[in-house]
Amino acid sequence: MQQRELARLTSEVREELVNNFDTLARELSPGQIRAIADEPWSMKLFFGTALEGRVAARVRQTVQGNADSVLSDIRWTGRTNAPQDFIGPGQHGFDITGGSASSIRKHFTRPEVDAVITYE
């Protein structure tokens, strides 16, 4: 249930960011925007970071509105180098990543990651 709800939120947030450049721009720091201008390939990295942050905000909003939500015991690891993006009960690790086969494989091989949630 938690994975399904995180996947739903990930899809919603992805659509928001892809379809509204102003929303995406508000999620990016000035340094990230400069980096994208210099190295356009880095947009993929910064898009993922923005998406994860917005998903975490949605999780917080969901739990604030419904303390019994299936997401109530999921914790975002923040913008850290943690091997997973969210940790659930029993240290169950959820990771959000782009949908390429190499990215999925890379994230799934992390021992702390139990479920990979993808976006295109």
C-alpha to C-alpha distances, 49 to 53, 63, 78, nearest whole angstrom: 6, 21, 10
Domain ranges of the chain: 2-119
Q: Which long-range contacts (CB under 8 A, 24 or more apart) does 79-83 make?
A: 79/49, 79/52, 79/53, 82/112, 83/110, 83/111, 83/112, 83/113
- Tens place of pLDDT for every residue, the chain, 120 residues? 899 999 999 999 999 999 999 999 999 999 999 999 999 999 999 999 999 999 999 999 999 999 999 999 999 999 777 899 999 999 999 999 999 999 999 988 999 999 999 998
User: How much is the pLDDT for 93?
Assistant: 95
User: How much is the pLDDT for 79?
Assistant: 77
User: How much is the pLDDT for 120?
Assistant: 86
Q: What residues form DSSP beta bridges with 96?
A: 117
User: How much is the pLDDT for 80?
Assistant: 74
Q: Is the pTM of this model over 0.85?
A: yes
Radius of gyration, CA atoms only, the chain = 14
User: How much is the pLDDT for 82?
Assistant: 85
